[in-house]
């Protein structure tokens, strides 16, 4: 069994466990005015726009995230918070204390560069030829001049990084999002994006080079690298939320919509992207 196969076996049962909770849910989907903030979806080509931590976030916005598994999701969310409290939060604080910010940024750049082939593959599958060219150019420039990706030289000359994953590829192919799911350890996703994440993990060179353990550091969604980069904002969001689950769900959904369509609004009408 290959490392990629083991990584898929590591992730896919988690999604299956959450989906199995559907039979235990007897209440209809809950439509709430989440204690969340509105997000302006714009062009993300020019940088790492993250509406989850946007300062213009306003309260009282309804979002169309389908959540028929809310009771199960809230239970998993509570367990995840305890894991955060006793494991990931101390680990993140220790990492930030021991490793200087320039070094942490450089490590994130290296992992991002290693993941470029996965981004390139999804660019091609999405028929986004300009994005594919930019990704390939970034890989060449940052691997050579950027010292194996330690420095984002490509970004400094106008070749900006963008996000491209298999969940986006499925969305552009017309695959519906499916229900919102809170996955143990990995956090929020949907059925479509959860499957897309498993495929991306299997395709990622970091999985084959460093094995599934790399997910703890650079895992999709809630790896240590993302926690480090947004640790203060995440804690502020939690402290200001009356209902942290609803706030996080709303913010995640709007952020995901921005990733899907912020740079390709012209293709939105051609895809059946709804639940």
Give the pLDDT confidence score for residue 261 in this predicted structure: 87
Give the pLDDT confidence score for residue 123 in this predicted structure: 97
Q: Quick one: which of 234, 237, 203, 266 has its CA closest to 92?
A: 234
Give the pLDDT confidence score for residue 161 in this predicted structure: 94
Give the pLDDT confidence score for residue 241 in this predicted structure: 83
Contact indicator for 216, 227 with CB cutoff of 8 Å: no
Give the pLDDT confidence score for residue 222 in this predicted structure: 60
| 106, part of any domain | yes
| 197, part of any domain | yes
Q: What is the Cα–Cα distance from 122 to 120, expressed in whole angstroms?
A: 5
Give the pLDDT confidence score for residue 234 in this predicted structure: 81
| 103, part of any domain | yes
Give the pLDDT confidence score for residue 185 in this predicted structure: 83
CA dihedral 208, 92, 252, 173 (to 10 degrees): -10
**54 three-class SS:** coil
Residue ranges in the chain whose pLDDT is less than 50: 1-62, 273
Our count of domains for the chain comes to 1
0.75 surpassed by pTM: no
Burial class (CB in 10 A: 0-12, 13-18, 19+), 100: exposed
Q: Quick one: which of 108, 242, 232, 246 has its CA closest to 180?
A: 246
| 81, part of any domain | yes
Count CB atoms within 10 A of the CB of residue 233. 14
SS3 content of the chain, % helix, strand, coil (to 5): 60, 5, 35
Q: What is the Cα–Cα distance from 105 to 79, expressed in whole angstroms?
A: 30
Rg (CA), the chain: 18
| 166, part of any domain | yes
Q: How confident is the model over 104-154, as pLDDT tens digits?
A: 999 889 989 999 999 999 999 999 999 999 999 999 999 999 999 999 999
Tokens 């790896």 correspond to what residue? 223
What is the domain extent for residue 139?
3-19+76-264
| 273, part of any domain | no
| 67, part of any domain | no
């Amino acid at each position: 069994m290959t490392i990629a196969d083991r990584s898929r076996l590591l992730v896919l049962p988690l999604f299956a466990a959450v989906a199995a909770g559907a039979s235990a849910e007897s209440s209809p989907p809950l439509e709430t005015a989440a204690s969340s903030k509105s997000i302006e979806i714009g062009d993300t080509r020019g940088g790492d726009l993250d509406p989850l931590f946007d300062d213009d976030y306003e309260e009282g916005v309804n979002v169309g995230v389908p959540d028929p598994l809310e009771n199960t999701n809230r239970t998993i969310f509570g367990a995840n918070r305890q894991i955060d409290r006793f494991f990931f939060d101390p680990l993140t604080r220790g990492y930030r204390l021991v490793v200087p910010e320039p070094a942490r940024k450089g490590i994130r750049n290296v992992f991002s560069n290693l993941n470029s082939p996965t981004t390139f593959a999804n660019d091609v599958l999405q028929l986004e030829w300009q994005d594919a060219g930019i990704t390939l150019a970034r890989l060449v420039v940052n691997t050579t001049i950027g010292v194996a990706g330690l420095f984002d030289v490509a970004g400094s000359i106008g070749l900006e990084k963008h996000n491209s994953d298999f969940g986006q590829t499925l969305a552009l192919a017309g695959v519906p999002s499916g229900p919102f799911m809170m996955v143990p350890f990995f956090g929020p996703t949907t059925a479509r994006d959860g499957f897309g994440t498993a495929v991306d993990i299997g395709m990622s060179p970091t999985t084959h080079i460093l094995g599934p353990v790399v997910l703890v550091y650079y895992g999709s969604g809630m790896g240590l690298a993302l926690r480090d980069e947004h640790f203060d904002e995440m804690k502020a969001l939690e402290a200001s939320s009356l209902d942290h689950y609803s706030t996080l769900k709303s913010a995640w959904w709007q952020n995901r919509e921005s990733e899907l369509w912020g740079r390709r609004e012209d293709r939105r009408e051609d895809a059946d992207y709804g639940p």
